[in-house]
Amino acid sequence: MVEGSSSYIPGGTYGLCDRCAAKRRLRDLRKEWTGLMVCGSCLDPRPPEMTPPRVKAEGVPLPNARPDNQNADYVEITAEDL
């Protein structure tokens, strides 16, 4: 056994909270939605109103659709009109 190796703690590296500058273990820091690495007491959850609503398509257009011929503005054009 190597001398001094008993004090080694895996993942025991220290880091500073980006908000309050408290010294915490890196594994105890959380990445916030703002991108900051913060401690548990500084963690600010993302406000729900910042998440855009799920919007889906209202309808899929028919392929090769034609204009509606049932409206009143429709005038049939014959060869004699040209």
Q: From CA 56, how far away is CA 38, in angstroms rounded?
A: 35
Q: Does position 17 bind Zn ion by CB under 5 A?
A: yes
Q: Measured from the CB of residue 9, what is the shortest distance to Zn ion in angstroms?
A: 21
Strands 30-31 and 37-38: antiparallel
Q: Does position 30 bind Zn ion by CB under 5 A?
A: no
Q: Measured from the CB of residue 21, what is the shortest distance to Zn ion in angstroms?
A: 7
Nearer CB in complex with Zn ion: 27/74: 27
Nearer CB in complex with Zn ion: 35/59: 35
**Residue-by-residue DSSP string for 38-72:** E-TTT--PPPGGGSPPP---S-PPPTT----TTST
Q: Which stretch binds Zn ion (CB under 5 A): 13-21, 25-33, 61-69, 73-81?
A: 13-21
